[in-house]
Structure 1
């Protein structure tokens, strides 16, 4: 599988209020992603069981260029600038796909 570039991001939030504000920020950002990023194949936010102050993002892009396009969007830049006030920690793992199944684009 030579196509696909992904990442997993683990955000630890400061407190319950920060988590609520962060979730609202994510919802606004997702609207921009849905409407203007055809190369973003998956962008999913999770709350791990038993960890209410953690958000785990899984992001999959058609290729590195699609990720770069995502990073340059106004909604992404706004998210990156605003998120810091809510965070206690962040951990990013970049992923190069070697095998698997992804949904086909129509």
Structure 2
């Protein structure tokens, strides 16, 4: 079953550009993973400190492999100072 995720991410004040770079690096590496159908980073048009990641994974196994990948673990560790808040939402498409 396909897994869809939206992550709502807020940068620590003063670290917006650094977090943006970290997110883009994470996306670049994640897009080449097996089972990754979509992995895109978006910025909020009204709040420069807010970012969104939209992900589609083939199944839960692919998502679990992503969450255990070296580049994902590196992002979690390296963003401790740059990331202020994150909310992850599992979503379902109502219309395709």
Higher helix fraction (1 or 2): 1
Q: Which residue number in structure 1 is paired with residue 42 of structure 2?
A: 46
Measure the CA separation in 1 of the matches of 2:95 and 2:2. 10
Residue 64 (1) aligns with residue 60 (2) = yes
Query: Following superposition, which runs of at least 4 residues in structure 1 exceed 4 angstroms of deviation?
Result: none
Report how many residues are paired. Answer: 96
What's the CA shift for 1:82? 1.4
Cα RMSD for the two superposed structures: 1.6
Q: Does structure 1 residue 20 correspond to structure 2 residue 20? A: no
For residues 43-79 of structure 1, give each alpha carbon's deviation from its aligned partner in whole angstroms, at most 9, with x where no partner exists: 1111121111100111110011110111111111101
Larger radius of gyration: 1
Distance in 1 separating the partners of 2:83 and 2:66: 21
Tell me the secondary structure at the aligned position of residue 44 of structure 1. Answer: strand
Indicate the SS of the match to 2:29.
helix
Alignment gaps of 5+ in structure 2: none
